[in-house]
Amino acid sequence: MVFPEGTPIAGVVSRLAGLGSRLADLPGASVLTVLASVAVGVVVANFLVRLIGRPVARRVSRQSVAQTIVRGVRVGTIGAALLVGLGAAGFQFSDLLLGTAVFSAVIGIVLAPLVGNFINGVFVLADQPFEIGDMIELEDGTTGFVEDITIRYTKIFTLDNTFLVVPNGTMRERDVTNLSAEDERTRRSIDVLVTYESDVPEARRRIERAARDCDAVIDGGPDIRIGVARYMAGPDCRLHEFGDNGILLRLRYWVKKPYKLAKVQSDVNTKIRQRLGDPDANVTMAYPHRHLVFDDTSGVARVEAESGTPGGVDPDAPAAATPDLSDDAESDRDDLSGGGAGQ
């Protein structure tokens, strides 16, 4: 539709065009355009996140994947708004491509670790070794809960009330034990050494009863299946081996929840100590003993007497240590005999 030049609408359009040209001539107008475009992108991104957040959470079972999708929508919307703002400001993307070709080697070296973490993050999300909320244990003994999984890193909330942020590249190279992936029941074992003179069957019964007394221990029920194998649900104590200092009994028991394993093990150890320490039990806990035996082939012990001998002389001392006075004694006898004859 074409309006005559004298109509009011044509005048408004011409004024707006003149205003736009004057604003474009102002210093910093390009920067303001880009910032305004990014601000609009942030507002639109927040609206989209609120719009699709719940549907994505309902359709995607894994929380980490759902959060990654929502983050991708947010970053993509803001990135698109940034590109629109740069285009409106007159930025030439062909110049950017030429500059990228020149500095690609430097950028590749600088961003290589970051790109590696992104790729490993995709593998972590795809392989599903752990999920947000799982309790895991790293190879160095650090135990905690998975707080968040992103494309770049995994955040772990440790049992010491600290946060541990591990890059996904390092996370995939570590041995990670998932303690609460599908079945939270965890089997633990305790070794108890008793003497050979102990009543071994009675010791086994008392150790199993001590484990059943703990509330966190599964005291019985159907066998627990792991793969194709089945294990007793209740505590099971068996004779493991004959040691140098006693008979080694090994107790295996299942814990309902893996969140307080150290406390449960301490409670079981306390109960075992009480059960085996009962005076009615013919069981004695063994510990290393050492016997020193001396016989005729063990050598001769030489003892130096400090007192009780005349002059403090050791009667067992070698003859070389005793002064030789035979010549002097003989001369003294000759003198005495000659003197007596003269008298």
pLDDT of 234 higher than 80: yes
What mean pLDDT is predicted for residues 51-57? Answer: 76
Average pLDDT, the chain: 75
Q: What is the mean pLDDT of residues 195-216?
A: 93
| Range with lowest mean pLDDT among 104-113, 134-143, 180-189, 269-278 | 104-113
Distance of alpha carbon 149 from alpha carbon 171, whole angstroms: 11
**Is 128:84 a contact under the CB 8 Å cutoff?**
no
HEC per residue, 253-313: EEECCHHHHHHHHHHHHHHHHHHHCCCCCCCCECCCCCCCCCCCCCCCCCCCCCCCCHHHC
d(CA 89, CA 95): 14
Q: How far apart are CA 171 and CA 145, in angstroms?
A: 14
Is the pLDDT score of 209 beyond 90?
yes
Q: What is the pLDDT of residue 343?
A: 36
Query: Measuring CA to CA, which residue among 162, 119, 154 is closest to residue 133?
Result: 154
**pLDDT the model gives residue 102:** 53
- How many Å is the Cα radius of gyration of the chain? 44
Mean pLDDT of 191-217: 93
What is the percent of the chain where pLDDT is above 70? 67
List, edge to edge, every strand of the sheet that includes 143-149. 163-167, 153-158, 143-149, 135-137, 177-178
User: Could you give the angle at the alpha carbon of 261 between the alpha carbons of 260 and 262, nearest 5°?
Assistant: 95
Average pLDDT over residues 159-164: 87
Categorize the per-residue pLDDT at 289 as very low, low, confident or very high, splitting at 50, 70 and 90: confident
The CA distance from 49 to 69, in Å, is 10
pLDDT-derived band at 294, boundaries 50, 70, 90: confident
- Tell whether the torsion through CA atoms of 310, 316, 321 and 325 is positive or negative: positive
**pLDDT for residue 325 is more than 50:** no
pLDDT tier at 23, thresholds 50, 70, 90: very low
Residue showing tokens 């719009």? 51
Q: Which of residues 63 and 99 earns the better pLDDT score?
A: 63
Taking 50 as the threshold, does the pLDDT of residue 62 lie above it? Answer: yes
Does the predicted TM-score (pTM) go above 0.85?
no
Q: Calculate mean pLDDT across residues 1-9.
A: 50
Q: What is the pLDDT of residue 33?
A: 74
Mean pLDDT for the stretch of residues 143-171:
86
What local confidence, expressed as pLDDT, does residue 195 receive? Answer: 93
**pLDDT given for residue 266 in this prediction:** 95
Q: 279: Cβ–Cβ under 8 A, 6 or more apart, which residues?
A: none
